[in-house]
Each structure stands twice: as structure tokens, then as C-alpha cells.
Amino acid sequence: MRNNLMTIIKKELARFFGDKRMVFTTILMPGLLIYIMYSFMGSGLTSRFEAEEDYTYRIYAENMPSTVSAMIKGSDINVEYLDRDGVSEEDMKQAVTDKDAEMLMVFPENFEADVLAYDSMTATTPAPQVALYYNSADTESTACYQIMASVLDGYEASMANKFDVNSGDTEYDLASKEDSTGQIFSMMLPMLLMIFLFSGCMAIAPESIAGEKERGTIATLLVTPMKRGQLAMGKIISLGIIGLLSGISSFVGTMLSLPKLMGTESNAMDASVYSVTDYILLLLVILTTVLVLVGALAVISAFAKTVKEAGSMIMPLMVVVMVISITSMLGSGAPKEFYWYLIPFYNSVQGMTGIFDFSYSGINIVACLVSNLIYTGILSTVLAKMFGSEKTKIMKKHRTIESYNTRL
């Protein structure tokens, strides 16, 4: 019994390790994929949420004590104090919202005297308040807020904690709902959508192409009078519809759950900030992306003889799509240059990023859509030629069988 058990174990291990493609996709690929994705995500998040090292922060400051000014000067950061003459406090806040300034710092009049006179044991009024107005949707503004809060913490410690910073119910984050929503959605959703779309297409394309070859049913289709181009396009469109429905289902679930996942359900994210035009453009980008994905997966599957083999051959494409999808987390928004939107898969990720963060241009979205349709046409033509080649093989096989039967 023991010998039989060892025989089975050796046989299965030899079969597995004898298939180099299976070893790569099963053992090496998962670790490599996770390493690449997490490395890109880590560097992307760092670059996205860290300001430039030599950046000059533009600040409006009201009644700033000379002591605090000296501490800021000694903190080794570049600061430009904006002119407040003739500018109302509301206009200064609007400048922070519009990203024309990184911060508005408001100190009470006679701040230092009030702090020195304040006694928390006997006081009947709140401690002096310092307000730091910033924009959380702006990387530089967020960095500025963190620096200034740290400076004020040091100053407060030296004053025996006699004042408060950003206390009370006042809203100090001046980011608009559009900016907050766009920042989070543009960072996460393009990546998630590409993963969902690829997963949906990958689940059906190998079965439709390689599966039919494995079962022998593809021969029935190929010997009909139907043109190979019609067969290829029919396959791609039908698979695209199924993949699109799968992707939209995942997208809707993500849109509904993301605010709860991020813990900002109340006001930071609101899908209603996008117009009907934005959603139409997004749907068109998703649709053309699905067609390219299905076309690529169908062509790859056509090289395989079985569904299992097709799954192994698709793995490298999956790595490429995953890596490209992570680019939505890198940098700060979609590129403006036209040529980026001609690169397959990358154009879709950046097109969706631009739509989500309101930075897209019409010409770039058109370039993305048209190039995706061109790639779909090319892939459909390749698939049609592969079907034609497969038909030739089938016809030769039939003639060989008929010739053999005639001789008998």
C-alpha cells in the first residue's frame, strides 16, 4: 500500500514539474505578480501623497506671531507668504479650495498675550484657537498642513499647552466634494475596473475558443459557409457583451461599497458629482477596453489546444494588464500628451483616470476610443486568419481520412 502511495505521489509530482509552463504559472508567477504590484503600489502611493522636496508653500497668514514665523523659518521648508491686502478671508479660503494657495493660517489678535494670560484651571472661556485651513485633495496642501501642525505642536508644548489647533465643529478641510471624490476614485477605480474587466473576459474567452477546439465543436463552425471574419467578430462581440456585463456588475458594487470601505460615507465621496457626459464617456472607454481584452484573449486562446493550456498562455498578459492598471496610482492625474492614449490598455487606464479626476480632454478620449477600435479590428483579423488556418487543417485531415477509407 505504501509503495502504491509513493508511486502516485511521484507520478503526479513528475507530471507537474515536467511541465515548465505549469511550474512558472503556479509557483513563480503568483509571487512575482504580488512583488511587482505591491512595489509599484508602494512607490505610487509615496509619490502621490508626498510633495516635491523643494516645493515653495504659498500661505496666507493672519496675525501670525513672530515666534511662530521664526519657528517656520527654522523648519527648513520654503514658504511664500501671500499678500492679504484687499483680500477677504472668504477669498483666501477659496484660493485654498482652488489650489492657488496651500494654506490659510488664522491666529487671534493679541494671540501671544492671550496665551500667556490663559489659565486652564480658572478659565471660563475656551483656550485661544488657531485655525489651519487646507485642501486634503491637494498633495502640497496636505503636506503643508502636516508641517504646520507639527510646528504648532512644538510651539504649544513650549507654551504649556495653552491653545488649541483646529478644534470645534468648524470645517477646516476646504477640499470641494468634486476634488475629494476625484482624488480617491481616480486612484482606485481605474485599477479595480481593469482587474474586474480582465477577470470577466478571462473567465469566458478560453472556454469559447480553446474549449471548442478541445471538444471538437469548432470544426462544425469552420466547415460552414460562414466567413471567417464574421465568425471572429461574432465571437469577440458576444464575449465582449458578457465581459462588459460582468465588469459593470463589479463596477456598480465597487461604487456602492467604496465610500463605506474608505470610512468616508458622509461627504468625501459622492458619485453624483459626475455628469451624464462623464458616465457616457466612461462607459465607452469600458466597452472598447472589453473588446480589446476579449480580442487579445481570443487570439491567445486560439493558439492553445485545451482550456488549461490557454489559461497558462494568458498569464503573461494578465501580468502586463495588472502592472499597467497600477499606473492610475502613480503620479498626479492623467497625462496630457496625445500619444499616451494610443498605447493599448494604458490608454484605457489613463482615460478612466482623467474622467474620474475631471482632467480629461476630448481629443485624448477620442484617441483612446478610436485606437481601441483599431486594435479590436486588427485582433479580429488575426483571429479570422487563425480560424482560416484551422479550417485548412481540418479539411486536410478530412481528405486524408477519406483517402484512407477509399483505399480500404
Model pLDDT for residues 257-269, shown as the tens digit of each residue: 666 655 554 455 6
Distance separating alpha carbons of residues 307 and 309, to the nearest angstrom: 5
pLDDT top residue among 53 and 64: 64
Average pLDDT, the chain: 79
Contact between residue 50 and residue 143 where contact means Cβ atoms under 8 Å apart: yes
Distance separating alpha carbons of residues 351 and 331, to the nearest angstrom: 14
pLDDT value of position 266: 47
Distance separating alpha carbons of residues 229 and 391, to the nearest angstrom: 13
Contact between residue 315 and residue 219 where contact means Cβ atoms under 8 Å apart: no
Over residues 226-230, the mean pLDDT reads 72
Give the pLDDT band of residue 52 (cuts 50, 70, 90): low
pLDDT value of position 385: 82
- Quote the cell numbers at residue 75: 523648519
Contact between residue 214 and residue 306 where contact means Cβ atoms under 8 Å apart: yes
- Quote the cell numbers at residue 240: 465582449
Distance separating alpha carbons of residues 161 and 194, to the nearest angstrom: 50
Single-letter code of the amino acid located at 268: A
In this prediction the pTM is: 0.73
- Quote the cell numbers at residue 375: 486594435
pLDDT value of position 394: 47
Over residues 99-127, the mean pLDDT reads 82
Contacts of residue 102, defined as CB under 8 A and 6 or more positions apart, other chains included, come to 57, 58, 59, 96, 134, 135, 138, 140, 141, 144
Over residues 315-344, the mean pLDDT reads 83
User: Which helix (H) or strand (E) segment is 62 a member of?
Assistant: strand 56-62
Over residues 397-402, the mean pLDDT reads 51
Is pLDDT of 29 > 80? no
Distance separating alpha carbons of residues 207 and 311, to the nearest angstrom: 9
Distance separating alpha carbons of residues 302 and 127, to the nearest angstrom: 74
Residue with cell 521648508: 77
For strand 164-165 and strand 129-133, is the pairing parallel, antiparallel, or unpaired?
Answer: parallel
Contact between residue 57 and residue 140 where contact means Cβ atoms under 8 Å apart: yes
Please give the DSSP secondary-structure letter assigned to residue 89.
H
Give the pLDDT band of residue 218 (cuts 50, 70, 90): low
Task: Name, of 33-42, 50-59, 336-345, the range with top average pLDDT.
Answer: 336-345
pLDDT top residue among 126 and 257: 126
Distance separating alpha carbons of residues 169 and 68, to the nearest angstrom: 25
Specify whether the backbone of 79 is left (phi greater than 0), alpha (psi in -120 to 50) or beta: beta
Over residues 288-312, the mean pLDDT reads 87
Distance separating alpha carbons of residues 140 and 102, to the nearest angstrom: 7
In the chain, pLDDT over 90 holds for what percent of residues?
14
Could you tell me where the beta strands, DSSP code E, fall in 76-229?
78-81, 103-106, 129-133, 164-165
Over residues 143-154, the mean pLDDT reads 87
Q: How many CA atoms lie within 13 A of 147 on its CB side?
A: 26
pLDDT value of position 77: 83
For strand 129-133 and strand 103-106, is the pairing parallel, antiparallel, or unpaired?
Answer: antiparallel
Distance separating alpha carbons of residues 100 and 97, to the nearest angstrom: 8
φ, ψ for residue 330, nearest 5 deg: -100, 150
Angle at 88 between CA 86 and CA 90, to 5 degrees: 155
pLDDT value of position 217: 65
Task: Name, of 33-37, 117-121, 221-225, 388-392, the range with top average pLDDT.
Answer: 117-121
**Which residue intervals of 81-176 are DSSP H helices?**
89-97, 111-117, 139-158
Contacts of residue 124, defined as CB under 8 A and 6 or more positions apart, other chains included, come to none
| Nearest CA-CA partner of 176 in 102, 99, 104, 101 | 99
Contact between residue 213 and residue 162 where contact means Cβ atoms under 8 Å apart: no
pLDDT value of position 392: 47
Give the pLDDT band of residue 41 (cuts 50, 70, 90): low
Over residues 382-397, the mean pLDDT reads 64
- Alpha-carbon torsion (92, 95, 97, 100), positive or negative: negative
In the chain, pLDDT over 70 holds for what percent of residues?
77
Give the pLDDT band of residue 210 (cuts 50, 70, 90): confident
| Nearest CA-CA partner of 326 in 198, 191, 196 | 191
Please give the DSSP secondary-structure letter assigned to residue 134.
B
Count the neighbouring beta carbons within 10 Å of the beta carbon of residue 33: 15
Domains for the chain: give ranges and CATH numbers: 56-165 (3.40.190), 177-407 (no CATH)
pLDDT value of position 36: 67
